[in-house]
Amino acid sequence: MVSPSDPGSFLKTYFTPIVLAWMAMAVVTFVVLQFVTAPFGRHARSGWGPMVRNKWGWMWMELPSFVLILAALLWGSKVNPVTWCIGGLWLLHYFNRVFIFPFRIKSGEKLMPVTIVGSAIFFNLMNAGLNGYFLAELSDYSGDWFSSWQFMLGLPLFLIGMGINIWADERLMNLRKPGETGYVIPRGGLFNIISAPNLFGETVEWTGFAILAWNLPAASFAIWTFANLVPRAKEHHRFYLERFADYPRHRKRIFPFVY
């Protein structure tokens, strides 16, 4: 019988059921987010408890994802060049999200609820914990993984998605002229056909990661990304339609020409 007092043995024995349960939570979250809008960013509102500045909230809630994967790569028993490459792509994304993005957003003086920060920290501890543990202790990648169809398909998707995400964030951060406040209709590139290219890019990015890593925790992250960002994009689209009478009605929410 496996004892929970032996974390390593317990995790190895029950790892798959834990990840499947985590995936099921993503499905439940997707349903809940059809009726509840997370109160941060343009959807921030009072009534959710104490508040913290946006830039510090973003940094602290994303930090666990960077630290846990780095720790897994540094001290894992199954680490090799393939796991370093997979984990390195993860670290590349989160280096931006932790150390660059929060300090560049122009809404850094705005506030977000501590409850949002706390729930995001819990998510990132779980998500990075499962992915990091798999890479560090359960993976069995060999050097020929770099020539596998999964890696050769997933890597371009990941890089394209990350590029779209960063480009769209940059465009959004520079919409206002110096001294301007309020929201502006974003235009140009993918913004001409969808309301949330930044969220579309992140969805493509982590779908690519799930393909190139080809393991259950990576798939769970892709499912969670969809569950969180598709409802978020729907709310962004509704926000624009309600605020701007001239907002282009032909734009889709997140997936070009589809939704």
The domain boundary, picked from 144, 164, 197, lies at 144
Q: Say whether pLDDT at 178 is over 70.
A: no
Name the helix (H) or strand (E) containing 113: strand 111-113
| Domain match, 103 and 152 both | no
Residue 82 lies in a domain: yes
Residue 30 lies in a domain: no
The confidence score (pLDDT) of residue 48 equals: 72
| Domain match, 157 and 235 both | yes
Residue 14 lies in a domain: no
The confidence score (pLDDT) of residue 199 equals: 97
Residue 29 lies in a domain: no
| Domain match, 259 and 152 both | yes
Q: Could you report the per-residue pLDDT of 4-61, keeping only the tens digit for each?
A: 455 567 778 899 999 999 999 999 999 999 998 877 666 666 667 788 888 899 999 9
Is residue 47 left, alpha or beta, with left meaning phi > 0 and alpha meaning psi from -120 to 50? left
| Domain match, 156 and 241 both | yes
Tally: H helices and E strands in the chain: 7, 2
Residue 238 lies in a domain: yes
| Domain match, 115 and 190 both | no
Q: How many residues does the chain have?
A: 259
What distance lies between CA 147 and its chain's CA centroid?
27
| Domain match, 152 and 257 both | yes
Q: How far apart are the two ends of the chain, measured CA to CA in Å?
A: 49
Domain count, the chain: 2
Residue 201 lies in a domain: yes
Between these two residues, 152 and 111, which has the higher pLDDT value?
152
Residue 86 lies in a domain: yes
| Domain match, 132 and 165 both | no
Residue 11 lies in a domain: no
| Domain match, 140 and 102 both | yes
Q: Could you report the per-residue pLDDT of 120-153, keeping only the tens digit for each?
A: 999 999 999 999 999 999 999 999 999 999 999 9
**Which residues span the domain enclosing 120?**
37-144
Q: Say whether pLDDT at 190 is over 60.
A: yes
